[in-house]
Amino acid sequence: MFAMPWIAIFPAALTVWLFPLRWLSLGLLVIGYGVALADGQLGFMAAIPIASLILAAYAVSPRRKPYLQYIGHALFVVLATALSLHWLPGFHNPLVIGPERFTADAVPFAMYLNLDKLLVGFWLLHVLPWTRPPHEWRVSLKAGFGAMLMTIAACLWTAVLLGVVRWEPKWPSASWLWLLNNLLLVTLTEEALFRGYLQGGLSRLLRRQPYADAIALCVAAVLFGLVHAAGGWQWIVLGSIAGIGYGLAYRFGGLQAAVLAHFGLNVTHFFLFTYPMLQPVGPS
């Protein structure tokens, strides 16, 4: 039964990119969450963060007074952190993969379909249009592919040197579900937050300062690296390198380019290298 809410939620994540279909996206999201509630994947306590996000959306409107906008943004940052880290009650995210080893030497991998983290990306894309600056699609593709190739080379070469992964091509049986989840939920949400909101927001705040875009890019990249700290210092380094690549894609091609670069690296890692990482060798 875990698939039922996602029959609506996956298309909702896809159509949110198309401005004329944003209301369809929101409607599908509501249907998906309604089915999740009926199916037991969502509890009534989830109404608190959802209502809080609606309140934050009201507060950050350009029509509100500046102090209300500041409060709204502060509320969103707290909610985004708590939802991304799965700290809030009411969300019973279904386990759909694993834990399993895709290769014999890999750390066991488990994947959940995260109803909580998903709300962060949808809030940003529906409430703050400046997180997705308009770019001509050819420019976005060029920037996205260029950043993707550069980031793949830099990150995976460094990961191999650090002993985090090795060359291990594979095609796991759950690949289709991993691809959908990673593109429409994980990558979309993370890029909307780190590039659209953090990098884009800092660029707006610092626009009168020299090197505003470079500072915003580096801050967002370092923070993106730090959220990977659970994997060890190596993943902080790799996450920061990846964040620079995604940040360049966003700077020159917008949010679509950043998502393309991020998804391209993740796909290459998943199918061609150890995923998620090599099992650490303990003392003999």
Phi-psi region of 98 (alpha: psi -120 to 50; beta: other; left: phi over 0): left
Task: Give the side-chain half-sphere CA count within 13 A for 258.
Answer: 33
Q: What is the DSSP string of 202-215?
A: HHHHTTTSTTHHHH
Looking at residue 89, its amino acid is: P
For 64-99, write each residue's pLDDT tens digit.
999 999 999 999 999 999 999 999 999 999 999 989
Structure-block tokens of residue 111:
């994947």
pLDDT bucket at 284, cuts 50 / 70 / 90:
very low
Q: What φ, ψ does residue 270 adopt, rounded to 5°?
A: -65, -45
Whole-number pLDDT of residue 2: 56
| More confident call, 10 vs 255 | 255
For 225-247, write each residue's pLDDT tens digit.
999 999 899 999 999 999 999 99
By C-alpha distance, which of 234, 244, 236 is closest to 265? Answer: 244
**Residue keyed to tokens 């959940």:** 112
**Residue keyed to tokens 């659970």:** 230
Whole-number pLDDT of residue 19: 64
Looking at residue 67, its amino acid is: Y
Phi-psi region of 169 (alpha: psi -120 to 50; beta: other; left: phi over 0): beta
Q: Choose the weakest-confidence range: 3-7, 35-39, 255-259.
A: 3-7
DSSP annotation of 97 reads E
Name the percent of the chain lying above pLDDT 70: 96
111 has a pLDDT exceeding 60: yes
The arithmetic mean of pLDDT across residues 134-151, rounded, is 96
| Cα–Cα distance for residue pair 155/67, rounded to 1 Å | 41
Whole-number pLDDT of residue 4: 66
Structure-block tokens of residue 73:
């943004």
DSSP SS3 for 95: strand
pLDDT bucket at 3, cuts 50 / 70 / 90:
low
The arithmetic mean of pLDDT across residues 183-201, rounded, is 95
pLDDT bucket at 20, cuts 50 / 70 / 90:
low
pLDDT bucket at 58, cuts 50 / 70 / 90:
very high
Whole-number pLDDT of residue 216: 97
Ordered by start, the domain boundaries in the chain are 129-284
pLDDT bucket at 283, cuts 50 / 70 / 90:
low
